[in-house]
Amino acid sequence: MIQLIDSFGRKIEYLRVSVTDRCDFRCFYCIPKGFKGFIESDNRLTLEEFVRLIRIFSELGVSKFRLTGGEPLVRKDIADMVQQIAVLPGVDDLSMSTNASHLAEHAEVLKKAGVSRINVSLDTLKPDVFREITQSELQPVLDGLMAAKKAGLHPIKINMVVMKDLNVDEIGNMVDFCLEHGFTLRFIETMPVGTAGQDAVDRYVSLDAIWKDLEQRFEMEPARMTGAGPAKYLKLVGKRLKIGFITPISQHFCEDCNRVRLSSEGTLYLCLGQQDKLEFRPLLRQGLTDEELKAAISEAIQRKPEKHEFNDNPDQVGRVMSVTGG
Ligand code: SAM
Ligand code: SF4
């Protein structure tokens, strides 16, 4: 069986696809204020190019795919895209990261098309704090979440970027909310990706302290989770709530990294925290065959860096987070 193994012996089996770098939100840690440098339409991959590349990756042993962005649900053809990807024989797991603002209209379609799991960004349950973080409104997101639950999307994971003087006091409320609705809760540390991420570093909270605090407040046990990736999980004893911790800064997990990222202009980024890349768009448009593209991917995977340098070199990644999708 064909496998992609990098020069550090890591098996690459997961591709995150930023299907657009555009978004209807402006989370201050993701897209810089007044940002105008979005990818131009001629430079974006077409639906056919995305689906072709995903098929080629699946034929190289990559079986997990996550559609992200930017906001995937702002694409008008997202339902078509999901349907075309879900039926590819090598795609075992198709998931999506979304801000959920348009999830109420799409939840049923996503479920029917075969999106197995969704991650929803939700940093706060307070409308005013939500507005401060995203420049947008909370209620459509809550409506989207309820629609997703009703449509039977499962598991629904809530991603909460924990930030000093902003939402760190809402951890208890978020635990109750997720417990009530059967959602999984995941805490994330702010990362210095792009100028917005670098500016948000002064909001950084180490999740170590949150973990210890939760262990004191609740009876917890270690837990396992499908598609857990780098998150470490705790579970409330006797309850169904699982809580994940994604700690790229305080405890990096690069030695187990199994993923690469494709941007909507067709650039493959080999590490979220480094610049190494392969530009597919010219290769696709020069008419390379599937076999030639596979050879280019295999060669690029050998260049996957050992680790990010968020701590030692925090200004290294200038690209906006929505280009690579987190
Ligand atoms: N728009 C979708 C959403 O918000 O879920 C998908 C794309 S978003 C870039 C993916 C994830 O990246 C979100 O959970 C978001 O909170 C996270 N993110 C964005 N910028 C970040 C940063 N500087 N540090 C940590 N996480 C970040
Ligand atoms: Fe948009 Fe997601 Fe970035 Fe927020 S984190 S601006 S919702 S892409």
pLDDT band at 229 (very low <50, low <70, confident <90, very high): confident
- DSSP H helical segments within 46-162, as ranges? 47-59, 78-86, 103-113, 127-134, 139-151
Phi, psi for 157 (deg, rounded to 5): -105, 130
Given ligand 2 and candidates 19, 30, 35, 102, which is best to mutate, with the most ligand atoms within 8 Å of its CB? 30
Nearest to 68 by CA among 20, 29, 132: 20
**What is the per-residue pLDDT for 261?**
96
Cα distance between residue 49 and residue 250, in whole Å: 37
**What is the per-residue pLDDT for 309?**
81
Taken in order of first residue, the domains within the chain and their CATH numbers are 4-324 (3.20.20.70)
What is the number of alpha carbons within 13 Å of residue 46 lying toward its C-beta? 7
Angstrom distances, CA of residue 136 to CA of 37, 100, 127, 141, 313: 20, 12, 9, 10, 32
- Measured from the Cα of 121, ligand 1's closest atom is 5
Query: Ligand 1 within 6 A of 320 CB?
Result: no
**What is the per-residue pLDDT for 230?**
78
Question: Ligand 1 mean position to 287 CA, how many Å?
Answer: 34
Residue-wise pLDDT tens digits, 5-14: 999 999 999 9
Q: Are 320 and 30 a contacting pair, CB within 8 Å?
A: yes
Beta bridge partners, 262, equal 17, 268
Cα distance between residue 67 and residue 48, in whole Å: 15
Angstrom distances, CA of residue 169 to CA of 123, 125, 140, 191, 213: 11, 11, 23, 20, 12
Residue-wise pLDDT tens digits, 152-201: 999 999 999 999 999 999 999 999 999 999 999 999 999 988 889 998 99
Question: Ligand 2 mean position to 123 CA, how many Å?
Answer: 11
Claim: this prediction has a pTM higher than 0.85 = yes
Cα distance between residue 233 and residue 223, in whole Å: 5
**What is the per-residue pLDDT for 289?**
98
Cα distance between residue 164 and residue 232, in whole Å: 21
Residue-wise pLDDT tens digits, 293-325: 999 999 999 999 998 888 777 777 778 888 888
Q: Helix 290-301 vs helix 47-59: angle between axes, to the nearest 10 degrees?
A: 70
Q: Helix 207-217 vs helix 171-181: angle between axes, to the nearest 10 degrees?
A: 60
Smallest-distance ligand from the CA of 200? 1
- DSSP H helical segments within 98-206, as ranges? 103-113, 127-134, 139-151, 171-181, 194-199
Beta bridge partners, 94, equal 65
Strand order in the sheet with 259-262: 220-223, 232-236, 242-246, 184-188, 156-161, 117-121, 93-98, 64-68, 14-18, 259-262, 267-269, 277-279
Question: Ligand 2 mean position to 280 CA, how many Å?
Answer: 24
Nearest to 56 by CA among 289, 303, 302: 289
Residue-wise pLDDT tens digits, 248-266: 888 877 898 999 999 999 9
- Which amino acid is residue 126, in one-letter code? K
Q: Is the pLDDT of residue 228 over 60?
A: no
Tokens 């029917």 appear where?
A: 112
Residue-wise pLDDT tens digits, 99-148: 999 999 999 999 999 897 999 999 999 999 999 999 999 999 999 999 99
**What is the per-residue pLDDT for 240?**
87
**What is the per-residue pLDDT for 32?**
93
**What is the per-residue pLDDT for 92?**
95
pLDDT band at 227 (very low <50, low <70, confident <90, very high): low
Residue-wise pLDDT tens digits, 24-73: 999 999 999 999 999 999 999 999 999 999 999 999 999 999 999 999 99
Q: Helix 78-86 vs helix 47-59: angle between axes, to the nearest 10 degrees?
A: 20
Question: Ligand 1 mean position to 72 CA, how many Å?
Answer: 12
